[in-house]
Structure 1
Amino acid sequence: MAITRELVRIESPKGEPGFLGAGHIARPLIYDNYEQSDPFILLMDDMLDKKDTTPAGGPHPHAGFETVTLVLDGELGADDHQLKSGDFQLMTAGSGVVHTEVIDKPGSMRILQLWANLGRENRKAVPRLQDLPLDHVPVINENGTHIRLYSGTLADITSPVQNYVPLLIADITVEPGVTSTLKIPANYNTFLYVLAGTVQVGELKNSLHKDQVGWLNKFDQNEESELKVTAGSAGGRFVLYGGKPLHENIVSHGPFIADDSEEIVQLYKEYRQGKMKHISTVPEAQHYKW
């Protein structure tokens, strides 16, 4: 008998003024209970409607985890590091990097940025960058269900993105009234974030609406499970996130994740001493352009 996934927790996070100034609304989807969200540390839905040319943002360090950026609308960055609507980037901060996000022109933008944990054995991995532009994202469109797969394997398609910790990330649109059954690992901690419309989840058909986050029940079995979603009368679009929990304690402080507080102190010391290089200087061998 198949393992079926059901909604066990529904959250309706509210947007708050963001650090980028006027026009920036940040909606925290994951932010304060790592034991519950493992291997996901933080997830922000950043919406920016910038009206001026005053630079916002700047260089900042990261270490001990990976940042996972999905651009839903607009553009982020410039030149070789520009991301456009539908593009995806995974940055392994690992042993430590400096990252810059400067927005200095009018325009609207919406991104989902995730902090994904690295296991102890990979905490100090050599920094690397993986870019997956929209044109190269694996896509399947069958029976009223459209899937863009950014990470992992789903519906017989596989993303080229390499993961230290198994991650499943997909942008899924289901046409009105259509039911889709998604096969996902039973031991992945999994949630849905609805971008548009409404979806009914599981055999119990609990409803999840626009801007809501729905967490699924969890299992320890290393086997397949089934997630049934049915779109409402206006259809439904959601981002599906799944990850294999690490079951490891972490210490989080500012832009750093570590195994203990002593390592946090050491990371700040390395940053102040200029030992963390800018991600733009990562060797070509560590910059994957899929």
Structure 2
Amino acid sequence: MRTIKQIHAAIAAPIADLVTYRAIPTHTVQYIDPFLFLNHHGPQHFPARNNGLPFGPHPHRGMETVTFIIDGDIVHQDSSGYESVIEAGGVQWMTAGKGLIHAETSSAQFKENGGQLEILQLWLNLPAKLKMTAPLYKGLQRDEIHHEQLDEGRVTVDLIAGDWNGQAGAFHAHVQLNVFHFDAGGKVSLHAPKEHNVFFYVIRGELLVNHQEVKALHLVEFNNDGETIHVHAEAPSILLYGQAKPFNEPIVAHGPFVMNTEEEIAQAYEDYRRGDFGNWDF
């Protein structure tokens, strides 16, 4: 079995009135190449006539964002012309590439009526050869994502990206990402090549990972020594699983930009100020 290197507690990092826990980076883990950043917003209940999500227009370059809507909804708008409203169970994948401006807010209906909200956003690095690729966005509702039933229906896996027993994920990517929904007592065994980095983040519930207890709001970092990982739910749980071959490239991150050198970061700011990231017309 692949051994656990460390279990990291997510830290409280509220944004305005939005309950937020940051799982990557913290004082114990900076990143797990190519996984750079993971924020867990909620769970919390928003009253009627609320302000919704606070993420107004802002730029990105050199990375991708993957957003998982557990409860509530999210409105995506960007300077490349993409726009969507993704609801609970859906996922949105945005490749910032050479640069764009986007906003992530709540729908008018959610702001008027309120409701439960829980959203995760994961940042993925792009390799140097793809840093300046054209921006791309894709948002899918839950019924547009393939789901596999495991362990006699006690485990459901959402195939977000990568490959699962020959079944391609919903999004084209160079990483594997899955969300597992466990009923109590559900079990699953996973295979990951030794050269791949793997992380687990427990969104809800409580799991045994290779016989070690992991509770909600904790991230598991693994050593690169084995190829099998056993997971057993102690309670109804949700797990985010990421697996990828590391890029092993320099990482220079500053605010919303992730590049390979300080000079490239400075150029990103210059390009943004010059208007190369597009116009915000919403």
TM-score range relative to shorter protein? 0.7 to 0.9
Change in Cα spacing, 1:251 to 1:180, as seen in structure 2 (3 Å) is same
- Give the Cα–Cα distance (whole angstroms) in 1 for the partners of residues 247 and 5 of structure 2: 21
Change in Cα spacing, 1:78 to 1:181, as seen in structure 2 (3 Å) is closer
What is the TM-score of this pair, normalised by structure 1?
0.83
1:262 alignment partner in structure 2: 263
**Greater shift after overlay, 34-43 or 138-147?**
34-43
1:132–1:161 Cα contact (<8 Å) kept: no
- Following superposition of structure 1 onto structure 2, how do residues 230-241 of structure 1 map, counting pairs within 5 Å? 230-232=232-234, 234-241=235-242
Change in Cα spacing, 1:35 to 1:57, as seen in structure 2 (3 Å) is closer
Given candidates 100, 105, 109, the residue that maps to 1:102 is: 105
- Give the Cα–Cα distance (whole angstroms) in 1 for the partners of residues 195 and 102 of structure 2: 32
- Give the Cα–Cα distance (whole angstroms) in 1 for the partners of residues 269 and 188 of structure 2: 47
Superposition deviation, residue 262 in structure 1: 1.3
2:11 alignment partner in structure 1: 14
1:86–1:134 Cα contact (<8 Å) kept: yes
2:31–2:37 Cα contact (<8 Å) kept: no
Question: Share of identical aligned residues, percent?
Answer: 27
- Give the Cα–Cα distance (whole angstroms) in 2 for the partners of residues 251 and 73 of structure 1: 33
Structure 2 counterpart of 1:109, which letter?
L
1:206 alignment partner in structure 2: 212
Structure 1 counterpart of 2:101, which letter?
V
Please tell me whether residue 188 in structure 1 is matched to residue 230 in structure 2.
no
Given candidates 156, 159, 171, the residue that maps to 1:149 is: 159
Change in Cα spacing, 1:50 to 1:148, as seen in structure 2 (3 Å) is same
Superposition deviation, residue 30 in structure 1: 0.6
1:94–1:126 Cα contact (<8 Å) kept: yes
Change in Cα spacing, 1:278 to 1:245, as seen in structure 2 (3 Å) is farther
- Give the Cα–Cα distance (whole angstroms) in 2 for the partners of residues 155 and 196 of structure 1: 26
* 4+ long deviations beyond 4 Å: 32-36, 278-281
Superposition deviation, residue 207 in structure 1: 0.8
1:288 alignment partner in structure 2: none
Superposition deviation, residue 187 in structure 1: 2.3
- Give the Cα–Cα distance (whole angstroms) in 1 for the partners of residues 278 and 143 of structure 2: 30
- Following superposition of structure 1 onto structure 2, how do residues 8-87 of structure 1 map, counting pairs within 5 Å? 8-18=5-15, 21-22=16-17, 24-31=18-25, 36-47=31-42, 49-51=45-47, 52-54=49-51, 56-77=54-75, 80-87=83-90
Superposition deviation, residue 246 in structure 1: 0.5
1:246 alignment partner in structure 2: 247
1:266 is paired with a residue of what secondary structure? helix
Superposition deviation, residue 72 in structure 1: 1.0
Tell me, which stretches of 5 or more residues in structure 2 are unaligned? 78-82
| Corresponding pairs, count | 266
Structure 2 counterpart of 1:242, which letter?
Q
Superposition deviation, residue 49 in structure 1: 4.0
Tell me, which stretches of 5 or more residues in structure 1 are unaligned? 282-290
What is the TM-score of this pair, normalised by structure 2?
0.85
2:96 alignment partner in structure 1: 93
1:119–1:248 Cα contact (<8 Å) kept: yes
- Give the Cα–Cα distance (whole angstroms) in 2 for the partners of residues 62 and 75 of structure 1: 22
Given candidates 209, 218, 228, the residue that maps to 2:224 is: 218
- Give the Cα–Cα distance (whole angstroms) in 2 for the partners of residues 280 and 97 of structure 1: 13
Superposition deviation, residue 108 in structure 1: 3.4
Superposition deviation, residue 192 in structure 1: 1.2
- Give the Cα–Cα distance (whole angstroms) in 2 for the partners of residues 195 and 270 of structure 1: 37
